[in-house]
Structure 1
Amino acid sequence: MTDLLAGKTILITGASSGIGESAARLFAREGANVVITARRKAELDRVAEDIAAGGGNVLAVQADTTDAGELQRAVAAAVERWGCLDGALNNAGRTQGGGRLAEVTDETFDSVLETNFKGVWLAMRAELQAMTAEGAAGGSIVNISSIGGTFGAAGQSVYGATKAAVIALSRAAAAEYGRDGVRVNAIAPGATMTEMMVSWQQRDPSIVEHLSSLAALGRPGQPDEIAEAAAWLLSDRASYVTGMTLGVDGGTAPWPH
């Protein structure tokens, strides 16, 4: 490893699996103090134990990103343990589960909106307060959006709308907090082999085959590949990058209707 994140304290939401878990493992290998959060305590503890066994610095804090108090507690734990919060990867999210716009229930709409958009906003609010507190040195925030937030996808209207909102939120925060030494960027992954995608593939292998056919590289991404992009954006090597949305999608063309 290159010690890309040496000495930095970085909080990761949704770190019990998928992109969040890969990021936690990578960031620790790159020298960061990682604070990992998720709702699923058993899975979160497993990730923390593995990182610690490998010599990494890790703190696991069970937290639901839709709960402002729990997020504040996670940020406070990071500051208490390591003295500051240098970075954050806001990764927690959920999918819509399909269905055309007029078929989406109020319950699905509310749940997707609360997790994918309000959850990111709540996390950023807590993180920004820590990064701009008296004596703080700023920091870097990366929010996970999706290619679904950059162009419309049939069956994912609400999901796509929330991911587009994450991009807009990231750009606004970058403009507001740049003079405070805080950089804010987003990543828009394409089809990525998270647990969700693997389960889809098990039910219908043609789904991944179809999504792969839309990518210039002809394959889906791996969680580690998204994590690598996040590590760079959170590092000092991206010190003049803010307000941007980085597509990590293998050159995916817009999904047909």
Structure 2
Amino acid sequence: MTRNILRVTLLLIVASFVLAPMIATILGGFKTNAEIRTNALGLPAMWNTEFYGQIITDPAFWRYLRNSMIISVGSVVLTLIVGAAAAYVFAQIRFFGSRMLFSYILLGLMFPFATAILPLFIKVRDIGLLDTWWAVILPQTAFSLSLAILLFRTFFAQLPKELFEAAYIDGCGYVRFFWRFTLPLSAPILATVGVFVFVQSWNNFLLPLVVLNSRDVFTWPLGMMQFRGEYVTQWNLTLAFVTLTIVPAIVFFLAAQKYIVAGLTGGAVKG
């Protein structure tokens, strides 16, 4: 009994550190700038929805949200398709140099994204993709592939070999087996990688800052900078903006969480 009380207390303390900044951000959207300075963590003296209303009625907010959604979904789709296909080859097909090539791909996990930002900018500029969605989607996909391939390969290697042998006897080749059997059984890992890539892309600030110049293609982290002036920062509008923009990421995570549970139960293979 005592151990359970200590465990619950510890979990509540950890949860408070996680939830406190989020709650302060949500409440900050109802306060004036003066109240944020004097009472950042407390309840607002007056629940003023004007600041949230300004954000919602601003066409720029929906434009930033659209751009972030297109870039994030595009990054997820490309990473899942390319990462799963490459990992399937490493997991199911043995060829000369496969282990060396796989190790070379994993080297991408050792390099921070910021170290390659200048070469990325030069390459994106040279191929004419600067100031487009693809200028963000393609580099994000490339940097997400190392971890995605590692996770996919580990999962694919655990699939029963008997399943592929039975399909091969029936005339099913590698490509058909990948689309008809491997991917349907891989719902948990697909959802896991998808959530990771989506959240990473949704919150990416450095890459869009470097390769996007027009407000028409700005993502929401760049759009948030419009509330920062030379001398004054509109913190109430900024916090309301941030609160509204994290809603899609939370919805995507909750939807994927249900999908992971469904995949774990529906993708089981009986021996």
Query: TM range, normalised to the smaller chain?
Result: under 0.3
Bigger share in strand: 1
TM-score (norm 1): 0.25
More helix by share: 2
- Larger Rg belongs to: 2
